[in-house]
Amino acid sequence: MQKALLLFIPLFLLAATVQKTNRLPKDLKEISGWVFVDDSTLIAHNDGGNDPKIFVLNLDGSIRHKITVTNAENTDWEDIATDHKGYLYLGDFGNNNNTRTNLRILKVSLKKVLDNQDVEAKYIDFSYPEQTDFPPKLSEKYFDCEAMSYYNDSLYLFTKCRTEPFDGRCYVYTLPTKPGAYKAKKKYYMVIGKRDWFRDAATSAAIWKDKLYLLTYNRIIIHTFENGRAKYESHQTLLPITQKEAIAVHSNGKVYVADERQKIVGGGNMYIIKQETKKKK
């Protein structure tokens, strides 16, 4: 039996300054992932059903340029990562109903994207070996994913719990970065919280300086991350609850978060969080 990492018991609180900055352009109204590629450049994409476009952004969220992935569709792009070796990875693995059999990650040239050239993607196709039914039973719907990052030559996927009843499990899988077809390797699971997917499900991830930052609609959860294992360290509540689906960490340690624009809950903004961890008294 796998041992769970219980994340919902706060040991530390993250004292932080949250700055709501510019409204994001309407072209990014369904932003679902972004990543820093240098100190002045973010690269972002929209959620599923939009055009297969990659956006190169300035630090204020304005669009520098956008390019097209010419041989792909945006079935359900959910997060983006870079290996700092010249490649970007776009996770086309959103799977709300746990019915997809065409999960994949797109690998594209970072240089071409920065040079404002359209790109062709190479594919990392994968499946979850534990899933045998499409969809599985309601109590076994663990095969949606919206969070991905790069660490030690592997891609790490953090799944989004869709079970009924909701148990808050986030499974951690790894994949190689070489194009091909694979079965994702399950490492362990974490329990983010046991309330509901609206508050206690991972929507984006970033790994920076051996720290794992997991985003939910209402908070950032920070963990130490060593040898691929996560250990809870602190969290920062982000209110109001909006559809926050993009997180990235600048080299100065500031965390950038973006939410999708929705008529009911609002959003369409970028937020900058300056961290300062203090032990809870």
Q: Please write the tens of the pLDDT for every residue from 192-226.
A: 999 999 999 999 999 999 999 999 999 999 999 99
The rounded distance, in Å, linking the Cα atoms of 206 and 79 is 10
Cα–Cα distance for residue pair 218/213, rounded to 1 Å: 13
Indicate if the pLDDT at residue 3 is higher than 80.
Answer: no
* Number of domains composing the chain: 1
DSSP 8-state symbol, 280: -
Strand, helix or coil for residue 62? coil
According to the model, what pLDDT value does residue 22 have? 84
What single-letter amino acid sits at 225? F
13: domain CATH number is 2.120.10.30
Average pLDDT over residues 86-111: 98
What DSSP string describes 207-274?
EETTEEEEE-SSEEEEEEEETTEEEEEEEEE-SS---EEEEEE-TTS-EEEEE--BTTTB--EEEEEE
Look over the chain and give the mean of its residue pLDDT values, rounded to a whole number: 92
Instruction: Reply yes or no: is the peptide bond before residue 129 cis, omega within 30 of 0.
Output: no
Q: Which domain holds residue 23?
A: 4-279
Q: In 3-119, where does DSSP find H-type helix?
A: 110-114
- Calpha distance 24→245 (Å, rounded): 14
pTM: 0.92
